[in-house]
Structure formats: structure tokens, C-alpha cells
Structure 1
């Protein structure tokens, strides 16, 4: 069954993992290549998601200034990642080579020559991935990596380079084990810990610190264990930059992902959005998620329907229709809920894990003609919302024997384990995780994620207990599961933990 917290909840920069937070201030390296105070302001505005304000500032600068070119490319990327407008993408696709050619003509003795070229290549890689050109995107990433690597050797103290190459080292380190031969063959090296150290260095720079911190918060939430200390730092950053909608969006997404629904609701209430910011339909997904978790099914449905009306692309549509099904079904209107299920296979794409999970839910429903267990769904929603007492209350009269489906039995054990884990009842959590793994292993061909998810969490428990060999065994087991809908994210987290322990 699909997760309720998903990468759909991220603003545009985060959808692409982490690879890119951009310049707010750069020195000069040629007459035409001056990063003026006006350009610095334009970058700052675009980063905050006040894109039109940034574009207006750019009109005051020379069209031959590579920093203006870079800023324009950045603004284009932001808008296209948000809109997924294929016609708009086709209208500007030729600008990639034009802009790169202009930057390449600047002083090659400056670190900004390679740095800006690498950043543009990364921008275009993200766009190519979004519009279905993965092979071309991969080549862009390879080229960017090589430019940044060369730059690092020539200018080892150049902090902007650490920001970007640190992100790529994490990206390389996150590649699944069975694909490592590709990076080795292409000469791409790096790991998560190396990238984190590079980002930590860059985070102390007075110019690049905010963007680097943005990267770090994202990585900490989506790859590494996320704790209260990191959460407090994120909230402080939001308070210090209260006009930065991008940072607020990230904090809201992380809050929802981590079971902090009330925190997410508070962030939504105080986010700075007004007509000066670019409208992001993902805003409606946040609103829908919060109301779904709170049991406000009518309000959640309105938010999800607004997303569908306003978003012109393909991302997260399958998951949104699944959520609409839940809202109607849990509110007692099964007939209406079933109409939403029938929409799942005919909309959107399956690039995002949440969309893959929604598609898998639809396929399972059509095979069995059976809806999920409503009590189990309520336990799961309460857990995902961070309402652990409510989850325990929903589950108090349930046991494995209440379920006839092997999948529901495995799901039940995993959900109860998660609640006990979060409430620090670790012995109970371990027992339920072990049972979820056993049930999953009996039906491995069905590709449920419960075994992999349970093994990952057991790894974290044993890592916390300093039982590293046990932790290693569980993390490796988590990675061993094949083709479930959350394989990429679970593998990334398990691999990061193994690296942190020195394995």
C-alpha cells in the first residue's frame, strides 16, 4: 500500500534529491562577468521562489554576463520543474548549448568557469529527467562531475565547488549496489560520508551557508536518521529566513515525512506565500496531507482536487487519486472512493515512489477485488501523522488473527512495530519487526516492502545499541530485497548507515 509521506511533499529543489542549491554571491573574473549586487539580489529572490522578481532584476544586466545567464537558467529550471510544461521545455531546450558556450568563453583561469558550466549541466540534467530523457541527463551529470572534480584539484579551497561536488558525491554514494559497476566504469567516485564532510565545510561560508544547509536538511531527512537536534536547527533556519518560501516548503515536507503533523500545520500557517511568489501546486498536497491525517476528509479532498486542477504535469497524480479514494472511503462513501481507484492507472507516471505504490495498490485491488482493512489503514494514518497514542488505541483490539490476508498480517506486524519503536518500547518493536520479516520472506515473490522496511528499522535499533554486527546484518538484509516500491530510498538509508559504521 502506498505511503502517505512521500517525496511529492518536497518543493521543486528537493524533488531531485539534493543535487542543487545555487549561488547567492560570486566575485568577478572578467569585465562582462561581474556578479553585481543586483544579480546577487536576483539570485536570492529566485532561491526564495520569488521568480518573477528575480527575472525583473535580471533585465538590468548585460545579456553577455555569465552570471545573468546562469540566473536565467536557474529561473527556467525552477519554473519548468514546477509546471512540467512540455511545450515550454521544447521552446527553450536549445538554450542549453547557447548558454554553456557563452560561459565557456570566460576566463578559464577562474574557478567560476568550470563551476558555472557544471551547475548549468546539472540544471539541465534535472529537466531532462523530469521530461523523460534519462540517458541525456546521465551524460550531463557525468560532465558536471568531471568539471567539478577538475576544479577541486585546481582550486581546493574554493567553497562553492564543495557545495556542488559534495551533493554529487552523495548522489554517487546513494546508487544501488547492483549498479555500482556503472559508476566505476565511468570513473565516478564518492560516498555519502565524503559528501557530508564537504557540505559541512561549505555550510560555514557566509555566502553559501544557507543553500548548503538546505542540502544538509534534505539529506538528513531522506537518507540519514533525523533527530530532534536536526529538527530544531531546521526550525531555527525557517525563523531566521521567514521570507524564504523554499525553506518553509522543505521544512513542511520534512515535518510531514517525520510524523510531525502539528509542526507541519504551524509551518503552513506562517509560510510567507503571496502573489509575489511562484505558485506551487505541491502546496495543495501539503494541505491535503495535514487534513487527511487529522481526519478532515472533506477538506483534504478539496486540497487534492485543487492539485489535480492546477498541476499540468504527471508527477504524484496516481498517489493523489489514491488519497482521494481514502478520503471518500474513510468518510463512508465507498462508491465514490471506487471511482477514484479507477483513475489511478490512466493518469500520471510511476517515477515517484508514491506513484509506484499507488499503481501497485490498484493492481492488487483489481486482482483480488478486495479493499484494504480499514482498521489497519487507521492505525497507519495515525502513526504516519505522529499520533502514536491514537495509533495504539486503534490497534488495541487487533491482532494478527484479525486478518486473513498474508499481506495484511505482515503489514499489521510492521505497523505495530513502528508504533512501539517510536514510543521506545524496543523489545516489543523488535518482536513485531522480526515477525513482519518472517511473513514477508514467506511471500518474497509478491515483492512487499514490509521485510525491507522492518530490517532497516531493526538495523537502526541495533546501531543505537552499539551492536554493530547485528546492525550490519539487518542493513544488508534490507538491501537484499528486490523490486519493492521503496527500494531506492530504503537502500540509500541502509547504505548510509553501513558507511557511517565503517562497513
Structure 2
């Protein structure tokens, strides 16, 4: 039974972990004597949130070490640095700080809503840190404890916006868990509801203190859990412009742009990224630069940025994906020696916490089984699409057909890629026929093309008002097992079903 519980906690943690980093701000209307959120501490928090971590730490030295807000901001700063560096020795050194800080706050005024809220936030910080360092079960316990503290706080102080904002994020994430897995959070006492969570975030967005953070969280959730459209993209760009000195917001906006096939937009955002020495250096920006060059077909420039990431990042995240991308670049450049080198490196290091790393590892393992590389034509088609160059992708597509490929997997991928291209060009009837063909060809194979196609069919039919057909396809997307994008596809399908009232 114990091993089953551990499995449940680990699985739940995977489902909701990726958004915890954004539950990080709190109200400044503090009345209890123990909780003094001074203007200087507010400034320190703001600096850390913008990723000017050292400036924030310097401001903290002027405050009483026992002030719970100083304790909280120190914890926030530690989290930002640990997640960025993935420094194992520093992690071991700081691990005891979690309990020390929680005990220091717990002993303070229990009548203050900040007592439970700050403890919950510290637990969420350390949940994310533990996930990054591969301790998912321990992180799962943190999430459960934090959730229960926040729920209790909301019952005791229903108008306290910080709890409302943090619970909003968790309610959306837990509410996006697919039907067949909903017993897991229920068993653990976690309650989720997408509409409730979004309403909570919208309420928090009206607050003069919490408005920016709530909007930040809403944008992230919309892009990574729900649906993201042109209107929301415009609002995100306006948000970035209004916070031009905030590297954190710029970083997330760049990631969303790349995810949403907006390479040219990502390039412009990278130009606006704050670059002076006051900001913490984030190697992830090197990956963003590399991605923009890869999508544009500038492979030597992409190689340079990927290698810069490898030189400057000492952790394990995105290593497999980076080596996979370096393999792609050299393969497309025709450098056989480096192609073999980077193909082998996919299996030599890094972890598989991120879906892109998981996909890279699966690519390597499939190659070892089949000794067959994918079609270069399909790879180029995918890169053009991923970059948002849809008309160029359509031109490449016009030179191909299903008969251009001899194996079933390539045929399934061709139809999926064609469907996505025509979907983006708003030629929906063509897109539907290609998606349906991809599903038919895939059959019971553990490829991601069929669940992805089913998800997109659901979106198209939802757009057309064909509610029953959309429901069937979202459920079909969830039913596929063991593909590398299962978590994200299931979350999106579940969210769409909830939006339609199922």
C-alpha cells in the first residue's frame, strides 16, 4: 500500500508541478504585529521577482532576520537561484532551511492570515526545488500540505487575496487532471475546478497589489493548460511592455512565443530582455536564441547558442533535448561525424523531467531499436511549422504526399503535420481529413501523432460548435497511453472538456 501511495503522490506531483513557480507574491496590507511587510521588504521582493536577486538580498540585510517577510523573500531568492543553477551541493547545503523557516513563521501570530499563507508558499517553493532535483515524492507531500494550509486560510479569511490567488492556480491545475486520474487528487484531499480557479484569478487581477501577479499567472495558465489565441497574445505583449524591467515576465513571454509558433515575436522579445549585470544570468535564454535560429534554418548559429548553453549550465534539465537539437543541426548540415557524436550524447546525461528531454530520450531509444533516422523532409516541415512559418511549410508540403514515405510512422507524421499546417492557415476541412488519416494510420502504436491529431480535431469541432464530436475527440486524445506528451495533451483535453461543461 505504501508503494502505491508513493506512486499516486509522484503522479499527482508531475501533473501540477510546472506552475508552482508562479505562486509567489502576497498582499501588503499587514496588520498583525508579527508580520511587518515594510516598504524596503516590498522592494526586496520586487527585485527578486524581477530576477535582480543580488539587489534584493542587499535590501534584506537592512531588515530584522526574524521578520517573516524577510524569511519568505530569502526563501524566494534561494529558489530562484537553485532552479536556475541546479547546483546539487548548494541544494544539500540549503535543504535544512525549509524546516527552519517554516518553524520560525509557525510560531508567530496564528491570527494573521500570513501565518498559513507564507508557510504554504515556502512549501510550494520547496516542492518545485525538489522536483527539479528529482525528489518527486517529497515534493508531492509539500504540495498536499501547502494546498491544505491555503484552503484552511481561505475558510478563516475569505477576503484575503493572497490565498485566493494561490488557490486559483492550484484549482486550475488540479481541475485539468483527466477523468480517469481524478481519483488521485480526490484521494489526497485536493479539489480542482478550472472555472473556479480562473474566476479566483480574475478577482485577484482587480487588486492593486495582486493584479500584476494574477495576470501573470493567468497568461501562463492560458498558454500551457488552456487555449491561447491571438487576443490573449496581444494582451501578453502589452503586459510585457508595461513591465519592461522584469526579466521574469520577459522570459515567460519568450517561452510562450516559441511554444505558440511565433519565432519572429520571440526574436523581438529577446531583443527587449533586460541585460545588465544586476540581473541573474539565466542560461535558458541561450536555448531560446538557439531555437529561433533552428526554426529559421540558420543551423550554424543555432549550434553556437546550444553550445553556449551547455558551457554555462551545470544542471541536468534540457541536456537531452539540447543534444538532440545539436544532432538535428549537424544532421541537416550533413556533418556525419558530429551527427553520430550528438546522437550518442542524448543518452549520456541529463534527466527526463521535462517533456522535451523525455521525447529526446525516446527518439534515441527508438533509433537504437530500428537503426533508422526520420525523414529529413518531415523534420524540415516540422521546424518550419514550429517556427510559425506556415506559408513556407505549405510550399514544402506541396512537394510531398503520403506516398512519398515508405514506413507507417512517417506516413502518420506526414498527415499530422499537414493537418496542423492547414489548421493554422484556417483551411479546416483539409485539416480534418489529414488529422483523421493520421489517427487511422497510427492505430494502437505509441506515437504522439494520433493523440495530438485527436486533440486538434476536438478544438476544430469545438470551434464549429459540434459539441458532441468535440467531446468524443478530446476523450479519444486522453485515452492514448505511453506517449511522450501525455501529460500536456491530457491536461489540455481535460481543460477543453471542462470548458464545454463536461
TM over 0.5: yes
Distance 1:87 1:19, change over 3 A: closer
1:75 corresponds to:
77
- For 1:460 and 1:111, locate their aligned partners in 2 and report how far apart those are by CA, in whole Å: 41
Q: 2:40 matched to which residue of 1?
A: 38
Residue 397 of structure 1: CA displacement? Answer: 1.3
* Equivalent residue runs for 1:104-503 within 5 Å: 104-441=106-443, 444=444, 446-503=445-502
- Whether the 8 Å CA contact 1:104–1:117 is kept in 2: the answer is yes
Contact between 1:32 and 1:64, CA under 8 Å: does it hold in 2? no
Greater shift, 371-380 or 187-196, is seen at 187-196
How does 1:21-100 map onto structure 2 within 5 Å? Answer: 21-23=23-25, 25-100=27-102
Structure 1 position 33, deviation (Å): 2.3
Q: Deviations over 1:77-136 (max 9, x none)?
A: 010011111110110111111101111122111111111111011111111111122111
Aligned partner of 1:5 in structure 2 is none
Deviation at 1:18, TM superposition (A): 4.5
Structure 1 CA distance, aligned partners of 2:25 and 2:345? 42
Q: How far off is 1:32 after superposition?
A: 4.4
CA distance in 2, matches of 1:306, 1:17: 27
Structure 1 CA distance, aligned partners of 2:334 and 2:284? 27
Deviation of 1:271 after TM superposition, in Å, equals: 1.1
Shift of 1:31: 3.8
Counterpart for residue 3 of structure 1 = none
| Aligned mates of 2:384, 2:76 — CA distance in 1 | 39
**Counterpart Cα distance in 1 of 2:156 and 2:21:** 22
> 1:30 Cα shift?
4.0
| Deviations, residues 264-302 of structure 1 (Å, cap 9, x unaligned) | 000001111221100111000000000101111111001
CA contact (8 A) 1:19 1:164 kept: no
SS of the counterpart of 1:447? coil
Offset, 1:201: 0.7
**RMSD between aligned residues:** 1.3
Q: Report deviation, 1:367.
A: 1.6
Partners of 1:16 and 1:412 in 2: how far apart? 31
User: 5+ unaligned residues in a row in structure 1: which ranges?
Assistant: 1-13
Q: TM-score, normalised by structure 1?
A: 0.95
Return the alpha-carbon distance in structure 2 between the equivalents of residues 431 and 38 of structure 1: 60
Q: Name the CA distance, whole Å, in 2 between partners of 1:150 and 1:44.
A: 27
Write the distance in 1 (CA, Å) between the matches of 2:349 and 2:228.
33
CA contact (8 A) 2:34 2:109 kept: no
Q: Could you tell me whether the CA contact under 8 Å between 2:448 and 2:484 is conserved in 1?
A: yes
CA contact (8 A) 2:21 2:128 kept: no
Greater mean deviation of Cα atoms: 90-99 or 491-500: 90-99
CA contact (8 A) 2:222 2:228 kept: yes
SS at match of 2:22: coil
Q: Distance in 1 between matches of 2:165 and 2:449?
A: 35
| 2:461/2:467 contact within 8 Å kept | yes
State the shift of 1:23 in Å.
2.3
Q: TM-score, normalised by structure 2?
A: 0.95
Deviation at 1:337, TM superposition (A): 1.3
Conserved 8 A contact 1:456-1:494: yes
Contact 1:19 1:168 (8 Å CA) reproduced: no
Q: Deviations over 1:151-207 (max 9, x none)?
A: 111111111111101111122123343432221122211122211111111111110
CA distance in 1, matches of 2:138, 2:330: 42
C-alpha deviation, 1:309, in angstroms: 1.1
Q: Distance in 2 between matches of 1:47 and 1:472?
A: 40
Structure 2: gaps (5+ residues): 1-15
Deviations 1:11-62 (A, max 9, x none): xxx9822553322652334444210000000000101010000001000000
Q: Using the alignment, how far apart are the partners of 2:20 and 2:345 within structure 1? A: 31
> Is the 1:388–1:419 Cα contact (8 Å) retained in structure 2?
yes
C-alpha deviations, 1:448-469, integer Å up to 9, x for none? Answer: 0111000000000000011100
Aligned to 1:9: none
